Amino acid sequence: MGELVQRGETKFKLLRYFTIGSLVAFLFAASLLGYVFRRLAVDGLLSGYENEHINHARIIANEMWERDLTPLLRASGDKLATELQIDVVHNRVLTLLAGTKVFKIKVYGPDGKTVYSTELKQIGEDKSANAGVIAALQGHSSSELAHRDTFSAFEGEVQDRDLVETYVPRYNPDTGKVSGVFEIYSDATALVAEISRRQRVIVAAVVVLLSLLYAALWIMVKRAQDQIIEHNRQRNRAQHALALAEERWKFALEGSETGVWDHNLESGEIVYSKRYKEIFGYAEGEPVDSAKGWEDRVHPDDLQRVHADREDYLAGRTQTYANERRMRCRDGSWKWILSRGMVVARDAQGRPVRMIGTHADITERHEREEALRLASTVILTVDEAVMVCDLDEKIVSVNPAFTVITGFAESEVIGKTPRLLSSGVHGPEFYKAMWDQLGTEGSWNGELRNRRKNGKLYVEWLSIKLVRNDKDMPSHYVAVFSDISDRKADEERMQHLAHFDALTGLPNRALFSDRLHQAVAKARRDGTRMALMFLDLDKFKPVNDEHGHHIGDLLLKEVATRMLECVRRETDTVGRLGGDEFVVILSNIDKVQQATMVAEKIRHALNQRFELAGLELSISSCTGVAVYPEHGADANLLLKSADAAMYRAKEGGRNRVELAEESPSP
């Protein structure tokens, strides 16, 4: 009787919830579909009308704006002049809109006032607060669908209409700014009615289809309900049997870390203890897979070995059954398991029929062993050298990379200190700071220069860690270092290329600019003078054109050499900006004449013949000289002054030195 009541309650609740929920869902789906259809249809309607209205506005603007509408805009304050023009404008608008769907149009000026309307009484109204007018004056077209009970059109008063009204900005072609706004109305009553009709048809069709679907689902739910009831009965019987079976394990390993299994070899049934299920993530009352499922949970790489061990034991070839394997848990993860077992029952022919055993989780032990193997493999295979020292700084272990980098074999360094690698480059204070940091922070890293076994120096990036034991006491130092000599050399080469001209070796534009700013800053700080020369070669292009770029490059290198011979102070700079342009910075000069003397010396040196690759070449130069502070209060002004002086030298006949005339205005 109790089962019948339970069955009736289950049936009533399931069907009731399904009926209410599905009807609500069906009605909502039909309504939503109808709404979406109408929304999309109306959006398409508005988009189409808006495009038509924009085209109408362009036509009217092209035909009438300058001739008819602009005078209205200008005469908006003169009522008499406006009235005289309205009739003419009105007739022309009607002519342009003849045969279109448009039945009303209004024109607004930049101030939002109505300068023209097909409904004449609206002329002069202020619509500056209208959202559509505001948006159009900002350059945005907009449309909306509205229903009007009464509306004034070309033909007079019309009633009960669905209208599409669009605000279209008119741009002044000369300035590109909005010079007015068109408001255009079209009758969309027939199209809106058709949309509504189609919406009703679609909703009706959806309701019919959903009703058929509802009937089919109701039948399916009814059948599913009957199956659920039968399943509940079977589950209750299974739970009762499981409860009886669990009683057999009350005596075994409660609270133990080892899980117990009892395998009936004839039926394939396996009974598991509570701890066994905990190991693999199963709840206490949750059933675990059968014998076939148990084998499926063994890792494929271990399954063949597990089968072999079990067959050897069952066949009597081994006295014990024990192996380690990976097994999949309920959540899909893997655990390492130590499995042990023994046969506890045999049939009359001596064949095993029952086997009992244990599973122990040894994942943590395997992970520790694997971590140790991995660490050992990493240390042996990494390209970085690894060196382990005790607290007395004696080397106790090195890896193969140590020998590759330093040249010392393991047997040559064990028991010695890392000082056998010392290069002598770093002083005692360097090592004291390193050991102080190791003592306070437990680690140190930095760049170090050491010496290989063959005596050659190398640069290494070194990282040292203080290692502590299980009792948090210092036990060892671990040093890891890599040879960065090649990288350091590459960095130095890149640094040189970034600041020096690749052809002549002179400072390039970037380094010259930095030195110029430093020279000006120093002169300003010390109250002294400094000079800047801007030099351009004459007749260099013909050399390139006639003899090729190879000879031109040789000539530029020789020019750089001669200029350096003329400027010998270490504080002065000769640079190449590119092509045949050179610069000179003379720091700390007493008189302007010192700069012009050096410039003349350079000019004279470059005016001498060049003998290159069996050729005799002649060139000259034009030099502009600017002196701080007379010709410029900062680097930029000095550059402008020197450049201008150089161009005056070219204009004056070339092969000249020109002094800047005056400081250009900032």
Among the listed residues 460, 574, 554, the one whose alpha carbon sits nearest the alpha carbon of residue 503: 554
* Higher local confidence (pLDDT), 94 or 456: 456
pLDDT digit string, tens, across residues 447-502: 889 999 998 998 999 999 998 887 888 989 999 998 888 887 777 778 777 788 88
Check if the beta carbon of residue 269 is closer than 8 Å to that of residue 356.
no
Tell me the C-alpha distance between 600 and 633, whole Å.
Answer: 24
Going from the N-terminus, what domains does the chain have, and what CATH number goes with each? Answer: 23-194 (3.30.450.20), 252-367 (3.30.450.20), 382-488 (3.30.450.20), 500-659 (3.30.70.270)
DSSP-derived secondary structure letter, 126: B
Mean pLDDT, range 416-428, rounded to an integer? 89
pLDDT of residue 630: 92
With a CB cutoff of 8 Å and minimum separation 6, the contacts of 623 are 533, 534, 535, 536, 599, 602, 603, 645, 646, 649, 656, 657, 658
Among the listed residues 367, 541, 394, the one whose alpha carbon sits nearest the alpha carbon of residue 476: 394
* Higher local confidence (pLDDT), 414 or 81: 414
Check if the beta carbon of residue 642 is closer than 8 Å to that of residue 536.
no
pLDDT of residue 244: 55
Check if the beta carbon of residue 153 is closer than 8 Å to that of residue 103.
yes
* Higher local confidence (pLDDT), 427 or 4: 427
Cα within 13 Å of Cα(348), Cβ side: 0
pLDDT band at 9 (very low <50, low <70, confident <90, very high): very low
* Higher local confidence (pLDDT), 66 or 596: 596
Tell me the C-alpha distance between 460 and 452, whole Å.
Answer: 11
Tell me the C-alpha distance between 142 and 136, whole Å.
Answer: 7
Q: What is the dihedral of CA 214, 217, 223, 225, to 10 degrees?
A: -90
pLDDT band at 145 (very low <50, low <70, confident <90, very high): confident
pLDDT band at 10 (very low <50, low <70, confident <90, very high): very low
DSSP-derived secondary structure letter, 500: B
pLDDT of residue 521: 94
pLDDT of residue 171: 87
Check if the beta carbon of residue 167 is closer than 8 Å to that of residue 198.
no
Tell me the C-alpha distance between 65 and 621, whole Å.
Answer: 66
pLDDT of residue 5: 38
With a CB cutoff of 8 Å and minimum separation 6, the contacts of 57 are 168, 170, 182, 184
Share the mean pLDDT of the chain.
83
pLDDT of residue 256: 58
pLDDT band at 562 (very low <50, low <70, confident <90, very high): very high
Mean pLDDT, range 33-45, rounded to an integer? 78
pLDDT digit string, tens, across residues 290-336: 666 777 889 999 889 988 998 898 888 988 898 889 999 889 899 89
% of the chain with per-residue pLDDT over 70: 90
Triad 253, 257, 259: Cα angle to 5° = 60
pLDDT digit string, tens, across residues 613-664: 889 999 999 999 999 999 999 999 999 999 999 999 999 888 999 999 865 4
Mean pLDDT, range 403-408, rounded to an integer? 91
pLDDT digit string, tens, across residues 347-383: 888 888 898 988 888 888 888 877 777 767 777 778 8
pLDDT > 90? residue 532: yes
pLDDT band at 82 (very low <50, low <70, confident <90, very high): low
pLDDT digit string, tens, across residues 229-254: 777 777 777 566 545 545 554 444 55
Least confident segment among 213-222, 363-372, 401-410: 213-222
Mean pLDDT, range 164-179, rounded to an integer? 86
Under DSSP, is residue 530 helix (H, G, I), strand (E, B) or coil?
Answer: strand
* Higher local confidence (pLDDT), 94 or 550: 550
Mean pLDDT, range 532-548, rounded to an integer? 92
Q: Which range has highest mean pLDDT (61-65, 167-171, 244-248, 375-379)?
A: 167-171
